[in-house]
Amino acid sequence: MPHVTELQCLRISMQQIVNHRGRAPHHPMHPFFTHRTLTLAGLALAAIAGLYLYLLAGDVKPWAEIDWMDVFAEGGTALFALLWLMLLLTSRPSGRVTHLLAVGLCCFIFSWWMDMLDEFIVIPSTVFWDNWLENLPIPIGLLILSCGIYQWHREELAIRLQMTKRERVFREHRLFDKLIPLGGAGYLREQVKMAVRESGRQQQPLALVAIDIDDFHQINRHHGPQEGDNVLQSVTQLLLLNLRGQDLLCRLAGDRFVAVLPNTGEAAARQIADELRSAVASLAYKTTGQGERIHLSASTAVTMALDEDSETLIARVNLDLVHAKQNITASS
Same domain, 287 and 251: yes
pLDDT for position 128: 84
Same domain, 178 and 313: yes
Whether the predicted pLDDT of 109 surpasses 90: yes
CB 113 within 8 A of CB 135: no
Give the CA-trace dihedral at 88, 90, 95, 97, to 10 degrees.
-10
pLDDT for position 264: 93
pLDDT for position 24: 42
Domain count of the fold of the chain: 2
CB 276 within 8 A of CB 298: yes
Distance CA 77, CA 71 (A): 10
C-alpha 218, offset from chain centre: 31
Same domain, 178 and 325: yes
pLDDT for position 300: 93
Q: Which helix (H) or strand (E) holds 304?
A: strand 298-304
Average pLDDT over residues 26-51: 75
pLDDT tens, residue by residue, 143-159: 999 999 998 888 877 66
Same domain, 262 and 152: no
169 against 83, higher pLDDT? 83
pLDDT tens, residue by residue, 244-283: 888 999 988 888 999 999 999 999 999 999 999 999 999 8
CB 161 within 8 A of CB 98: no
Same domain, 140 and 287: no
Residue 64: inside a domain = yes
Residue 102: inside a domain = yes
Closest by Cα among 203, 233, 207, 231 to 219: 231
Buried b (16+ CB within 10 A) or exposed e, 67-85: eeeeeeebbebbeebbeeb
Same domain, 200 and 322: yes
pLDDT tens, residue by residue, 39-78: 899 999 999 999 999 888 888 888 888 888 888 988 899 9
Same domain, 196 and 116: no
CATH number, domain containing residue 250: 3.30.70.270
Residue 15: inside a domain = no
Residue 16: inside a domain = no
Residue 80: inside a domain = yes
Give the CA-trace dihedral at 9, 10, 12, 15, to 10 degrees.
180
End of a domain among 96, 131, 162?
162
Same domain, 223 and 294: yes
End of a domain among 134, 162, 190?
162
Same domain, 81 and 113: yes
Global pTM reads 0.59
Residue 20: inside a domain = no
pLDDT bin (cut points 50, 70, 90) of residue 324 is confident
pLDDT for position 200: 84
The domain in which residue 118 lies consists of 33-162
- As a whole number, the mean pLDDT across the chain is 82
pLDDT for position 164: 53
Same domain, 138 and 173: no
pLDDT for position 125: 81
End of a domain among 162, 186, 207?
162
Residue 27: inside a domain = no
pLDDT for position 160: 64
Same domain, 177 and 154: no
pLDDT for position 1: 41
Same domain, 249 and 265: yes
Whether the predicted pLDDT of 27 surpasses 70: no
Residue 17: inside a domain = no
pLDDT tens, residue by residue, 202-223: 889 999 999 999 988 888 888 8
